[in-house]
Every structure is written in structure tokens, then in C-alpha cells.
Amino acid sequence: MTPYPDESAARTLVVRTARSLFTRGLTHGSTGNLSVRLADGTLLLTPTGSSLGTVEEGELSRTDLRGEHLDGPRPTKEAFLHAAFYRARPAANAVVHLHSTHAAAVSCLDGVDPANALPPLTAYYAMRVGTLPLLPYHAPGDGSLEPLAERTARTHHALLLANHGPVIAGPSMEQAADAIEELEETAKLHLLLRGHTTRPLTPEQAAVLAPPSP
């Protein structure tokens, strides 16, 4: 995949994906943000304070790869996080960050493995997400998260922010959105199965399905 060459089509894609995520309950209120990488190297993002259920194509923001605002409304306060993923992952052309209920719930649990917050319960989770590092809590918009997120994103396309929610990058918006939805469903399964003996994929089975490196 290459960066999105047609800005108008990219705006349509961001808004269409935002609507889909919102109407299916994967985000709520004014939480969550999406972005794509354009062919000129700039990023198109949902703006700060917007709802993914109502944001319009003309309301999207543009930043550079440092997260600096270039034009349009003020970008999401987590623009630096999107920029960190794009710098770390040259093949990424879309980033999705949600506060989806079950993934956020896992991010609040005590004793979660910071190296891998969810077990590979299904083959599709192993394929679309792989391992899921849990990053320590930072307040929303806290730029001190940026260097840690960038370092971790070099080897993982999906992260879980403690007491917050997931972030996933993908070669396309469709792939990033599919992956974050798979993550949410696996988090739901994980919570439903708490207290039961589970049979996740073995490390060998998961390794065969693991997503490619950046």
C-alpha cells in the first residue's frame, strides 16, 4: 500500500470509517480519533473535541509528521501519538485510536502483562493484532508518551494505553479498523472467560499467523 494520493477520497474514507465505528458502538461521545497519511507526507486527522458520529469531511485537520498543525481545525490532542506511529512504521498509512469498552476495561485491570495485554484466543486476533504491549498511564494529550509510543511502535503495530484504550496502525484504513475491531472482540472474549480455564493458541500457532514486521 502507498499513502493516500487523493485527499478528497481520503477525507471521505476517514468520515465513513468514523461513522461506522461510532454507529456500531466502538466509540462514544467525543472519544477516539482517526488519521491517514497523504501522498505529500502530511497527515489528515479528526479534530479535537469532535465526535466520530458527526465529524464532517471539511472539519478534518492536517499536521506534519511531527504532529505540528498545518491547516484546518485544531487536531486531536493525541496528534503526536498518530505522528509517532507514522514515523515508526513507514508502511503505515492509517492509525485508529478508540476508547472501546472492553479493550479499555482490560487496560484498567491489575496484573496485566505489560509485554502482551491479551492472549491469542483466536486465529484472527493472532493475524490482525499479534502481541499487544500495555503502555503505562499518561493523561490524554500528555506529550511525554510520544517517545515511548514511537519506540514501541517500531516493533508493534498495536498498543494498549493503560486506563485509556487501544491504538492500531495499518497499511490502509480498512486494515487498521478491522484490526482494532478484532482487538475489541478479543478483549470482550477475554473478560467473558475470566475465571474459566482457557485454551489460547500456542506460541508456535500464534507465530505462524503473526502480522508482518513494519
**78 has catalytic annotation:** yes
Tell me which residue of 129, 133, 165, 177 sits closest to 21, measured CA to CA. Answer: 177
Residue 77 near residue 89 (C-beta atoms within 8 A): no
Which one of the listed residues 7, 56, 78, 86 is annotated catalytic?
78
Which one of the listed residues 57, 68, 124, 174 is annotated catalytic?
124
Count CB atoms within 10 A of the CB of residue 140. 14
Identify the three-state secondary structure at position 168: strand
Radius of gyration of the chain, Cα coordinates, nearest whole angstrom: 16
Amino acid, single-letter form, for residue 213: S
Over 12-52, what HEC string results? HHHHHHHHHHHHCCCCCCCCCEEEEEECCCCEEECECCCCC
In degrees and rounded to multiples of 5, residue 66 shows phi and psi of -95, 0
**124 has catalytic annotation:** yes
Catalytic residues: 78, 124
